[in-house]
Amino acid sequence: MNHYKEKIKKPALVLAWGLYDLANQFFALNIVSLYFVRWGPKIIMKR
């Protein structure tokens, strides 16, 4: 029985890490896009 749990555990960990990484990428893109919208025009207007 314990061997069966170990077989399932690894794919579940990989899936969990993949979902975490995907969510982290969405969060980072959201923060960058919100920051760039405010920062970009300020840089352009200074020129």
Which residue ranges make up each domain of the chain? 1-47
Q: Which residue has the higher pLDDT, 21 or 12?
A: 21
Residue 15 has pLDDT above 60, yes or no: yes
Determine the average pLDDT of the residues in 15-39: 91
Q: Which residue has the higher pLDDT, 12 or 37?
A: 12
Residue 47 confidence class, pLDDT cut points 50, 70, 90: low
Look up the pTM and report it: 0.60
- Specify the pLDDT at position 1: 53
What lies within 8 Å, CB to CB, of 26 at 6+ separation is none
- Residue 39 to residues 29, 30, 34: CA-CA distances in angstroms? 15, 14, 9
